[in-house]
Amino acid sequence: MRDAPSYHGNSYFGHHSAAAFIGDTTPDLSSGIHVGYSHRTHLGGSTQPFRSERGPYAQLWELLGSLPRRKAIVDKLVRLVLIQLNDTFDAVHEETFMRHYEEFWDRKAGCDDLDNLNLRWLSVLFIILAFGELLDCPQPCSVEAQRDCEDSSLHFYWSARKSLVIAPSFYGESPDLTRADILITRYLIYTKRISESWLTGSFAVRMAQAQGMHVDGEHLRLPKKVIETRRRLWSQLYFLDISIALALGRPNSINEKHCVSRELDNIWVDDLSNEEAAVAQPLDPQTCPTPTTLLIFQHRLARIIAQIYDMQFVASATSDPSAAYDAVLRLEDDLQRWAGSLPSYFSLVPNHRLDQQYAYLRWHRQYLHSAFHFARITLHRTFLFRPSITNRFQTSRDACISSACADLKIKLSLHSPTMADRVEAHVGAHQLSNSALILGIITVQSLHGPQTDAILSDLQSYCYQQSNDSWLNEYGLAETRVVELCIVRAMQARQTAGLSQDAVLPSVSSRSAVLLRSDPASTGTATSTYEPFGPSHAANKQMGHCPSQISTDVQSWSFNDFPELTDFTYWEGLIDNLSGLASSHDG
């Protein structure tokens, strides 16, 4: 079999398990770099060059050629990640990683030693280098230096993706590949490439399932240290899988009916031997934080998110979505109970007393808070504009404003960050949440709301911060552009209604101010109409969002359909309809 000892003994969750049930034996699968090659290729013909593009080593030579030539450079990047990110991310077991690292650099040059090269571990090294390249970029830096840093980081990222795809074909699955894919998914969340992260997260789930991680280790009588390590990996995958699926409105990969899982114990086993881990007692998460504590409360929240996910799809298929509102209120109660169960150091109104002792608490707290607000906004946004003469849906409106403002506060709190702060901040769930856009749409729809002035002021600050962030990519710029459009439409409608904007105008970004003061006929923005087959139609169709199937009529828009922010034509049409509807109500 393909060298996957992580399941139990010398077996893995696959054909060996099936053979055991039917009482028969199963032949071992061939392993290593020669899998899939003919006998002649395996032996190597006299006319075949050692580095032949058709030979079994071609892929390895290409991957090894992607590494820097100087080991000192690799040492520096690895050290940066282990020191600055590892405790926060639970990225790798440092002792094991460094043992493989030294073995890799101590290997002998030649064919025989390439046979023993751990290609699965190489994917972990490459994604570590991708993060390390970001951390190594000095702040502030020139545009050219930043571009070089981003290009180098992407180079290592693609090498990690390539080795991740190749390795299972040669050697089967392993925890290293699962860890690498989790880190790759986090990297994509950092860059706001959420659609791609859905693919890599699904791939990670399949590799974990192939190793039996969906079955708790206690049922397999595994050592305690292995049990807790597998639980941590599965917990991370479960949260990423369901939260990304909810953010995109796509199917998730994990079916809980096919899983036998248990909650993690609040114990950090990485520093313990197998014997010590077997007798170690869990700590009280209310008073004794460990790096595992985040995963305990995150997993509890993920189970609520899974219910929100199921409810959203049921509501979208129901002719009367209002009938599901009782379920929304029950889930809101579940979210509030979860928030009330948080320890004081993770509370929504936190006690920072332990932050100096445990540096990772700051970021773990932010991850939980942003995930809570993301779940709450997604739960309630369907009913944000639902009409009711009795104000039945006011709870959803208040919840959306409250959580969107809290999430926006988290985003605005990042001032002049170091690269480590930037990376740690931008792998959280707030990358999945469009809190600024939610607030922007609320201001367009509620021109006279008691909080409209304050929301507009904060949105302008957010757009200014985003527009002046040199690290912002095209996805972040697309969000900023849509939020600025909301600000402009709200201000134009308020000016038309005779409301003074003197206190608001100075903080508008230059692009928004130009749009605001320009004649709508000359700019073409205020009178633009929604074109269902505009330039972005093809791109959105590939992403599963077809604008022609999503109405921009606010009366029928339920927020279940949330297309890519890069589809500016769609959002422009929707916001124009919203501003027109609000103006007619004011009139």
3-state secondary structure (DSSP) of residue 406: helix
Please tell me the chain's helix, strand, coil percentages from 3-state DSSP, rounded to the nearest 5: 60, 0, 40
Question: Domain segments of the chain: what residues?
Answer: 15-253, 283-417, 434-587
Task: Name the E strands within 198-279.
Answer: none
* Kind and range of the H or E run holding 363: helix 361-380
CA distances from 471 to 53, 141, 151, 268, 466 (A): 38, 11, 13, 35, 9
Q: Of 509, 352, 436, which is closest to residue 444 (Cα–Cα)?
A: 436
In order along its 587 residues, the chain shows pLDDT tens digits of: 344 444 443 334 444 444 444 444 444 444 554 444 444 444 444 554 544 555 556 777 788 888 998 999 999 999 999 999 999 999 999 999 999 999 888 876 655 556 667 888 999 999 999 999 999 998 888 888 889 999 999 999 999 999 998 888 777 788 999 999 999 999 999 999 999 999 999 999 999 999 999 999 998 889 999 999 999 999 999 999 999 999 988 899 999 889 998 999 999 999 899 999 999 999 999 999 999 999 999 999 999 999 999 887 766 555 565 667 888 999 999 999 999 999 999 999 999 999 999 999 999 999 999 999 999 999 998 888 888 888 888 999 999 999 999 999 999 988 878 999 999 999 988 888 889 999 998 888 888 778 888 999 999 999 999 888 888 888 888 889 999 999 998 888 888 776 544 444 434 444 444 444 443 333 333 333 323 223 333 334 333 444 434 444 544 444 555 667 777 888 888 888 877 655 555 55
pLDDT at position 242 is 96
**Structure tokens of 555?**
């009366």
Helical H runs in 44-193? 58-64, 71-84, 86-89, 94-105, 111-115, 119-135, 143-171, 175-190
**Structure tokens of 216?**
């708790």
pLDDT at position 570 is 82
Residue type at 524?
Answer: G
Q: Of 360, 359, 252, which is closest to residue 302 (Cα–Cα)?
A: 252
Helical H runs in 446-558? 452-467, 474-496, 510-517, 520-523, 537-542
Q: Report the DSSP beta bridge partners of residue 215.
A: 260
pLDDT at position 505 is 42
Residue type at 574?
Answer: L
3-state secondary structure (DSSP) of residue 11: strand
CA distance 312 to 342: 26
pLDDT at position 322 is 60
pLDDT at position 416 is 79
